[in-house]
Structure formats: structure tokens, C-alpha cells
Amino acid sequence: MIIITGPTATGKTARAVDLARRIGGEIISADSRQVYRGMDVGSGKDLAEYGDIPYHMIDVAEAGEVYNLFRWLRGAREALTDIEGRSRQAIVCGGSGMYVEALARGTTLPEVPADMELRRSLHGKSLEELRDILGSMKTLHNTTDTDTCARAIRAIEIQTYYAAHPEVNPEANAPAPEAQPLIIAVDIDRDTRRARITRRLHTRLESEGMVDEVRHLLDSGVDPQTLINYGLEYRFITRHLLGELTYDEMRRQLEIAIHQFAKRQMTWFRGMERRGFVINWLPASLGRDEFTDRVISLMK
């Protein structure tokens, strides 16, 4: 398995497509929001870049559905089996570090049932109280589990289940993969990354209809709080459309949030290296053919 990852706005999709075209590959998206239909511009699907290259794990759920790491791992592994069964090369591409690492590590997640008694006991607690409870049960690597009270309660429910059933705790029992995948990360300096983020945001807002996309999702009946929970573009544009932010406030705050998100992505990837993964960092400045040649040389 080949993984192409890196922070946002580094051109990962184009690199993966170039490689897939050269070696007969198919792409599995590792992006937590590209799974949703109708969320195209804000999630950066860039479907036109794929051309004739097959892709998987994009548009597999309706916007507003609950979609999580468990469902993504199941779908990604089904795609891997399908691709390999046809003697094609799977290329995982995306910047959701938790998804990338779970797949690379061979993590399997059990289906954790609802614990209604626990939910009732947590009902009414503030988000800060729930964060403290969850923090006492596990190390909080990111803020996804504590975006809302509902998510925090579900995370506590899962950790409570793992405590009662340690044999299924993925953090304690993740099997080592037979062979570590080849992980390529697109390396870009901070100033260039920031400039790309700013330029891309301007294009999506002014030319690609990102605000209209979010308006359409709201008009189609997707709950505003659900869109806010999806984060970044969907959070700030929804708040703008609800009248909570002016257009300029939305744009300014969103740009800051994307820069912060890119920093968190880099922190995750560096953490993966500390946790034993070998990540091959290739400069974003490499030409398309040169980048692909470098990846192919690492495959040998």
C-alpha cells in the first residue's frame, strides 16, 4: 500500500493521480469530509483532477449522516481488497492523519453499542466537564471528539466500553501490519503553504461557489449544527449564512482556522514518526515527473 499525505493545500491529489496514471493505480481518499455527497468545494474533492483514474471513499454517504473512523476503515479495507483483487495498485491519498495512521497501523475497531444509562448520567454536563472526563480516560490527540457535547458523550461511551472490554481496545491491541506501507508526505515550507491556503480560499469563495454550496446543503434540510460540526469551511460559512458572522468576519476567521488546521496536521505527522512510522518527505517544489520518479524509486 502506498500512502500520499501531508498538510492541506500541498497538492496531494495531483501527485496521487500522476502516480496512479504511471503505475496503474486507483486512489482511496483518506479525507473525513470527502465521504459526503454534496460537499465538494469545501472538502476539496477536486474531482476534475482524477480524469480517468478510479477513486474510492468519495461520495459514499449523505451530508448530515454520522460517518466516523469505524465506517471509513471498513470501506477503505473493502476498497483495498477490491483493488488488489484486480491486480491494481492502491494509493491512499488524504490529510486526515487519524484515518491514515489507523489504516497504516492495521487498527480494527469494534462496534460499540449505545449505553443509555451512561448517556443519561452525562446529560446536562457542560462541554468543559465532558472534556475533563474524557481527558481522564485517554490522551486527547485532537479536538474532534470534543467539538460538541454529543460527540464528547459518544467518545466517553467508547472509552468506557474499552475499559470494560480491554481485549477489543484498538490502542492496546492494534496488530502490526505485515509490511509497513510506503508513506509519502508532500513537504512544503510554512510561508508557501500559507500563501497557497490564502489563494485557494479566495478561489473557492469567489469563483467556485463555496458559499452557495453550503446554502444548498442548508436548503436541502441538512441540520445547521451538523454542518458546523464538520468544521472549517462548513462551520464558518454556516455561521455566516445564519447571520452570526459578516462575510468579512467569516472569511478572516476561516483563513486563520485553516492555517491552524495545517499546523495540527503537521503535529500529527510528526507524532506518527515518533510512534515508529517512516514518512518520506518529498518537496512540493519537485516537478510532476520528478516527484513520481522519486516515489517509484522508493517502491523498489
Burial (CB count <10 Å: 0-12, 13-18, 19+), residue 117: exposed
pTM: 0.86
pLDDT in tens, 46-102: 999 999 999 999 999 999 987 888 899 999 999 999 999 999 999 999 999 999 999
pLDDT in tens, 186-223: 999 999 999 999 999 999 999 999 999 999 999 999 99
Consecutive H or E run containing 27: strand 25-29
pLDDT, averaged across the chain: 92
Distance CA 113, CA 158 (A): 8
Amino acid symbol at 300 = K
3-state secondary structure of 247: helix
Per domain, the residue ranges of the chain are 2-108+174-299, 116-172
Whether residue 270 is predicted with pLDDT greater than 80 in this model: the reply is yes
- CATH numeric code, 2-108+174-299: 3.40.50.300
| Alpha-carbon distances of 196 from 29, 262, 284, rounded to whole Å | 21, 11, 12
* Backbone φ and ψ of 139, nearest 5°: -80, 130
pLDDT at position 141: 59
Q: Half-sphere exposure of 78 toward its Cβ, with a 13 Å CA cutoff?
A: 9
Amino acid symbol at 62 = E
pLDDT at position 107: 86
Cβ-Cβ contacts under 8 Å for 31 (sequence gap 6 or more)? 43, 44, 57, 94, 95, 96, 99
Choice among 86-90, 119-123, 281-285 with the minimum mean pLDDT? 119-123
